[in-house]
């Protein structure tokens, strides 16, 4: 078994030296080989070996095309959803959240979502990161806390208490969210904690 250091976003020839070394090292051995992770499985068929080790592609994501899971018919299979728990109006100049990161430039309707970094949503998500809400998108307003995050509902009158929100999934690509947070989709798909209720299907 080997693991390629450059399999994500494979370009022709990048893996050739490692593949050559591995084949030389295993020449004459009667063993099955495993070389390819998701990136190599999708982008470098010569390196598949006897069995592959799909990781990110099990979630329907392509490591070489963040936010665009199109190769091999991949479709995202994981979403993180919650609902608007409460909403409040704040006045111009009022601040929301730790450090007062969000300051209202106008009277603003703020929604609270009972999901935070303890549930797997990235604390590093910047203010303004989009959250799907029904047919609308609403921006994060303030810093993500342990068990809650806040969104600006002012321009989304259809979104109210009880509206389902999508933090990542079909509307909001987990790869795009990860990119905004300076991390990888790999990290986010591994973060869902026991506090999150999982639903299959």
Encode pLDDT of 42-88 as tens digits: 888 888 889 999 988 888 888 776 655 456 778 888 899 999 999 99
The dotted CATH code for 80-189 is 2.40.37.10
Looking at residue 98, its pLDDT comes to 93
Looking at residue 12, its pLDDT comes to 58
Residues 133 and 160: their CA atoms lie apart, in Å, by 9
Least confident of 14-28, 62-76, 121-135, 145-159: 62-76
> Is residue 9's pLDDT more than 80?
no
The tens digit of pLDDT for each residue in 162-176 reads 999 999 998 998 988
Looking at residue 32, its pLDDT comes to 92
Q: Whole-number mean pLDDT of the chain?
A: 88
Residues 6+ apart with CB under 8 A from 137: 130, 131, 156, 171, 172
> Is residue 3's pLDDT more than 60?
yes
Could you give the 3-state DSSP secondary structure of residue 12?
coil
Residues 55 and 133: their CA atoms lie apart, in Å, by 29
Q: What percent of the chain has pLDDT over 70?
A: 91
> Is residue 92's pLDDT more than 90?
yes
DSSP per residue, 146-183? SS-EEEE-TT-TT--TT-EEEEESSSS-HHHHHHHTTS
* Residue ranges covered by each domain of the chain: 16-54, 80-189
> Is residue 144's pLDDT more than 90?
yes
Looking at residue 39, its pLDDT comes to 83
Q: What would the mean pLDDT of 108-120 be, rounded to a whole number?
A: 96
Could you give the 3-state DSSP secondary structure of residue 96?
strand
Least confident of 41-50, 110-119, 141-150: 41-50
């Amino acid at each position: 078994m080997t693991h390629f250091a450059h399999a994500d976003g494979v370009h022709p020839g990048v893996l050739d030296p490692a593949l050559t070394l591995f084949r030389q090292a295993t020449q004459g051995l009667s063993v099955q080989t495993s070389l390819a992770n998701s990136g190599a499985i999708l982008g470098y068929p010569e390196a598949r070996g006897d069995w592959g080790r799909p990781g990110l592609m099990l979630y329907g994501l392509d490591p070489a095309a963040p936010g665009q899971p199109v190769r091999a018919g991949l479709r995202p299979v994981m979403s993180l959803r919650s609902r608007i728990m409460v909403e409040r109006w704040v006045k111009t100049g009022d601040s929301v959240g730790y450090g007062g990161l969000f300051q209202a430039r106008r009277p603003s309707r703020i929604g609270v979502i009972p999901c935070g970094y303890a549930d797997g949503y990235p604390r590093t998500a910047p203010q303004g990161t989009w959250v799907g809400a029904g047919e609308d998108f609403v921006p994060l307003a303030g810093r993500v806390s342990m068990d809650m995050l806040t969104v600006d509902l002012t321009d989304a009158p259809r979104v109210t208490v009880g509206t389902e929100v999508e933090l990542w999934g079909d509307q909001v690509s987990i790869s795009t969210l990860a990119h905004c947070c300076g991390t990888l989709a790999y990290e986010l798909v591994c973060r869902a904690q026991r506090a999150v209720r999982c639903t299959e299907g």
